[in-house]
Chains A and B, each alone.
Chain A
Amino acid sequence: MLSYALRRLAGLLPTLLVILTLSFAILRSAPGGPFDQEQALSPQVRANLTRAYGLDQPWPRQYLHYLRGLAHGDFGPSLRARDFTVRELIAQGLPVSATLGACAFALALALGLPCGIAAALHAQRGTDRVLAVLSALLLALPSFVIGPLLALLFGIGLGWLPVAGWQPGGGRFLILPALTLGLPVAAYLARLMRASLLETLRAPFVRSAQARGLGPLRVLWRHALPPALLPVVSYLGPTLAFLITGSLVVESVFGLPGTGRYLVQGAIDRDYPLVLGMIVVYATLTLLLNLLVDLAYGWLDPRVRHA
């Protein structure tokens, strides 16, 4: 098991390298440069800046230089926020994004899984119908619609929570964003859980457990639920990564200082190291979480347990 995990871990490096190379090539072949939008930059200053950041070097050399830095944990300087390194920028934004993502994830799990299980146990009855309508509605509400609607209801209408903004340590500021981010995921999880549990409840091994006279709770908990969780688990990995780094719109709706804005603004500004740094962080997270999911599979389903 351990050697399998280690082997998979080593296999991530080539994938990461391919992603990085592709991103580097796309970023660099785009027209424009990082010093374009500034006013009245004399050719001399511009040439000096370009030289100082090594942008006058041939691409392969710049790329190797970047990779060498990365291997030492150095993400390079930000070309726009001149006083900051990319590492400092990400270190500022990531805690906010990660907290938001973790809250949304916890909310989605706490809401989605029980609802899905309840819907499967009461299939085709009242609870199931209500939950189906609710989840269909939530899935059709994009985050940039739910966000303002929640702000309208709880922030402006009822005045319970701040409409937007952020203070360090301010949990109140995270409630609405976490709801916005988590509710659609909860809806999707509930659907997935329902469909998957309905299928296992019909399986012969569940019927035989019932025939042996085991109580309904024990049948559900010990026999039906673990295999039913498999499709849910495989959906969780990429979702968690997306929630942690991809809360882009939610951060912009609620004015949270997370990492989301770096990606958009960085790409617009041609701040190459910033965008690449975000991609490295994001891709590593996604790949690691997918690996975790694969390992969790073995734990849930003995048939795919790795020798």
Chain B
Amino acid sequence: MPEPLPTSQAGRTLQRLLRRADARWALLALGLIGALALLGPLLSPWGTETLDWRHLAQPPGLTAAHWLGTDRLGRDLYVRTLSAVRISLLVSLLASALSLVIGVGFGAVAGFVPGRTGVWMMRFVDVLYSLPYLFIVIILTALLPRGSLTVLLLSLGAVGWLTTARIVRGETLALKQRPFIEAARALGVPPARIVVRHVVPNLLGPVLVYATLTIAQMILFESFLSFLGLGVQEPRASLGNLIFLGAQELESATWILLVPAGFLVALLLALNQLADALRDALDPRAA
């Protein structure tokens, strides 16, 4: 029986995406990690901050009391890593959403308004661009009170939007020349409505690809900051501070590093792969 052809643009893209083996693997891995992060801790009798004095720095084992071992304080690594993945995903998804909203809004407006305003808006982005995100994020998180997830979220979101804004502005400038925008303008549709109804929906493709990359980048930034002691604070677990602890115990207990590092690498690998596949699926000529 022939597959019914999806009529929508999104349906066709999804079909092309799922035809690729690497995209299926990436989606499967992301789904698994997500499900584990949500439900996994329920399967274990241990809590994230329970200290098990009889099992300090215990190596992993399926029959052991702690499946993925424990750290120097006897805290269960399985539960801690999964709760760290949960926090990382939460922070990075929200920060990505925030930076996307700012980036799309800023870029679309800068591309659409006539005259020099748009140029000046982008000049502002260029200036911020000459400092890398991490510099700004580090300064912001070091200055603001530490340990608050809201602060972390806001600092990440506040700097992640620059590239999105650039991409969106470029696309908007191209879209502006298209007949249907001109038609809308000729019909007297107000500019704000043109941006919301006609420009933004047409930007979704490139934005979607970049969003996947943004999520990976945010996960990376969050763990980077937590590794430096600027992000999520102990006793709360984050992939960054777990890896930091693991790096201290390198010589005696390698699993304390390898367990959270494995999850982080798997997450980043899957997201990068998905973004690659998505880019090809959206642009069939490039594949």
Contact = CB atoms under 8 A, between A and B. Distances in A.
Nearest to A285: B130
Nearest to A266: B142
Given A27-B143, A145-B261, A268-B142, A242 B132 contact: yes
The interface size bin for chain B is 35 or more
Where chain B touches its partner, the secondary structure class is: helix
B250 A264 contact: no
A178 interface: no
A290 B247 contact: no
Nearest to A148: B247
Where chain A touches its partner, the secondary structure class is: helix
A140 B272 contact: yes
Given A156-B250, A253-B247, A264-B230, A19 B269 contact: no
A238 B132 contact: yes
A275 B142 CA distance: 11
Interface in A210-249: 238, 242, 246, 248-249
A144 B247 contact: yes
A145 B268 CA distance: 12
Contacts of B268: 139-142
A279 B128 CA distance: 12
Contacts, number: 103
Contacts of A99: none
Interface string A282-304: 11001100100000000000000
B138 A264 contact: yes
B142 A145 contact: no
Interface in A146-188: 147-149, 151-152, 156, 163
B228 A249 contact: yes
A81 B217 CA distance: 34
Given A264-B142, A264-B230, A148 B130 contact: no
Interface string A185-206: 0000000000000000000000
Interface in B177-236: 220, 223-224, 227-228, 230
A264 B265 contact: no
B64 interface: no
Contacts of A30: 143-144
Nearest to A18: B127
Interface in B30-46: none
A142 B142 contact: no
Contacts of A248: 134, 138, 228
Contacts of B244: 144
Interface string A16-47: 00110011001100111000000000000000
A137 interface: yes
Contact of A267 (B143, B224, B273): B143
Nearest to B267: A140
Interface of B: 126-127, 130-132, 134-135, 138-140, 142-145, 220, 223-224, 227-228, 230, 240, 243-244, 246-247, 250-251, 254, 257, 261, 264-265, 268-269, 272-273
23 contacts: A15-B127, A26-B140, A26-B143, A139-B268, A139-B272, A144-B223, A144-B244, A144-B247, A148-B261, A149-B261, A152-B250, A242-B132, A246-B132, A248-B134, A249-B228, A267-B139, A267-B142, A267-B143, A268-B142, A270-B143, A279-B135, A286-B132, A287-B130
Interface of A: 15, 18-19, 22-23, 26-27, 30-32, 136-137, 139-142, 144-145, 147-149, 151-152, 156, 163, 238, 242, 246, 248-249, 252-253, 263-264, 267-268, 270, 275, 279, 282-283, 286-287, 290
Given A30-B144, A156-B251, A248-B134, 6 more contacts: A19-B127, A26-B140, A137-B265, A144-B224, A144-B240, A252-B228
